[in-house]
Amino acid sequence: MSNPEIGKSIVAAGIRTNYIEAGTPGAPPLVLIHGSGPGVTGFANWNGIMPALAEHFHVFAPDMVGFGYTDVPDDIADFTLDFWVGHIVGFLDALGIERASFIGNSYGGGLSLAVAARHPDRVARFVLMGAAGLKFEMSDGLRDVWGYEPSEANMRKLMETFAYNPALVTDAIVLSRHNASIRPGSHEAYSRLFPEPRQARLDGLATPESDIAAISAPALIIHGREDVIVPVDVAYRFSALLKHSELHVFGECGHWTQIEKRDRFVEVVIPFLTAG
């Protein structure tokens, strides 16, 4: 039985990179960057909305280095924002994409923001979804995410932290993410990503506020009001800093807006990304 999380493969910035692709070649390119939870992949994070997005865009969802089925070179001394920006820009280069729109989830939002700030010519529009990218005091929820130790019970507890309504966390989701987190070498790689002191690692994902304020690409900020991983206050701060932005806050929603509010999420995101 084939694994849907394993898609195409390309060498990006010298690293063999796994990615999922959907949509029509020639349509506007859209890059989806996943969050930083254990067992996450591009497919796991985005498969629920990719079919809807693929009707309008040529969609690419890579596994960033340290996650999923992308190679993790042994000689990487440290995982930093600079390193990950280099990887995603290398991914664009490898695919011949000069300019794309982005949707970034949590860690992926911080990465999308950094690309928009550092490589403005490569970013048409971007969506921040429960995004990191500003300095804030690490939440207990995020500390649990980055300090995860593999077990089905721990994975279930973690997934229920992500969602406002724990009933959304099915056995299938828990089992899929748990199995991904215990693949040979997976937890060892994950443990290297955000070691202690974790507050410093979180601060390392932040883009300076002056650089955020200088971003010219239009931005859509989406956040769950009850998010206990990245507090909603971060979204309001993004809204104040990003000149060309709009903000949408979902009530009764945690960190999984693309899952918890799937249909409404798509209704908000597609008109924004196809505008102008």
Q: Known catalytic residue: 106?
A: yes
| Bridge partners for 250 per DSSP | 224
Amino acid identity of 81?
Answer: L
Give the separation between CA 70 and CA 123, rounded to whole angstroms.
23
Strands 100-105 and 29-33: parallel
Q: Known catalytic residue: 82?
A: no
Give the separation between CA 230 and CA 108, rounded to whole angstroms.
12
Cα–Cα distance list, 87 to 14, 79, 97, 130, 271 (Å): 9, 11, 14, 22, 29
Tokens found for residue 112:
């999308």
Query: What DSSP letter does each residue of 159-212 carry, written as one string?
Result: HHHH-SSGGG--HHHHHHHHHHHTSTTHHHHHHHHSPSSHHHHHHHTPPPHHHH
CA atoms within 13 A on the CB side of 227: 26
User: Residues, the chain, total?
Assistant: 276
Catalytic residue among 58, 181, 227, 245: 227
Tokens found for residue 62:
């890579």
Cα radius of gyration rounded to whole Å, the chain: 17
Catalytic residue among 36, 58, 63, 106: 106
Q: Known catalytic residue: 255?
A: yes
Which residues have C-beta within 8 Å of that of residue 107, sequence separation ≥ 6?
33, 34, 35, 36, 132, 205
Catalytic residues: 106, 227, 255
